[in-house]
Structure 1
Amino acid sequence: MSTRIGVAVMATMLALYIALVAHRGWLLLTSGEPVGIAMGVALFVLPLLAAWALGRELWFGIRAQQVGRRLEAEGAIPTEAVATRPSGRPLREDADALFPAYRAAVEAAPDDWRAWYRLGLAYDGAGDRRRARGAVRRAIALERRDRRERAERAEQG
């Protein structure tokens, strides 16, 4: 729950920042000065990019959580015990030792969203955030395809 609160606080702060920058951009656009107008345009582009990035990250978090809940409901969340630091983060050595099994599962079933999600958890435990996000993104896409195919089959039969 504290993660959600932190995300909400950060999203609210970014939204406030976007609004303030957009307001400054508007003031510069209406200044009538060529340099002010150019700066005003730039200040409108930056908040649009920030809003897009914020929306994308929030949607990724929501979808990753939904896919994780589905995996948990199926009883397929990894249950291996991994030692943690006092901060709660997993010890990299323990996470690295589990990684080959998850990688092999993805290689054996590259279209299985469950395997990709578990691989993402393994990457995250090993501290490789970039690859973790990539694996979870792949899991989200495959899970969406799986849901769509199930819905089509239910519709047909």
Structure 2
Amino acid sequence: MTEKTAPPELRRVTTLLLVNLGLSALLALLFLIFHSVLLDYQAAHIGAGADREALSIGLWSRVGGVVVIGLVYVVLLRRIRAGHRRAFVRVLIISVVSLLGIAYLLSTGQYPVWVEVEQAVQAVVLVALLWAVTRPAVRAHFAAPTAPSAATPPR
């Protein structure tokens, strides 16, 4: 089996994946630093029935999620560079699911403006990633192999 040469556009995909990961890590770090402030903000916006413990668990889960995503991205980036079709599909799925998650987060209004701004920037990166990964050269690089048809004699 011959190895396909990666198109130059694939570099944009890997760069955008790394930028997305960096933004997620930055937000996780800020969640750690401003944990109490964020809890106070959320509790004030939810009202008297706010369960601070549940809110705190939610913030910690975001930080833990970034650690898991970081590990997944290491493997994903290696497989993307190696030309694995499944990695290509996973990038598409991760981008769409992440955009939906950001849309949900922004619609809840439970975070301060600085978090919403960071999430909006991350959404722009994800849209750019979707655009980059769906370019014809990238799609062609990850195209599913076609089996020779019965009507076509082998050469």
Q: Would you say same fold, with TM above 0.5?
A: no
Bigger RCO (CA 8 Å, 6+ sep): 2
Task: Give the TM-score normalised by the residue count of structure 2.
Answer: 0.35
Task: Give the TM-score normalised by the residue count of structure 1.
Answer: 0.35
Structure whose residues are more often helix by fraction: 1
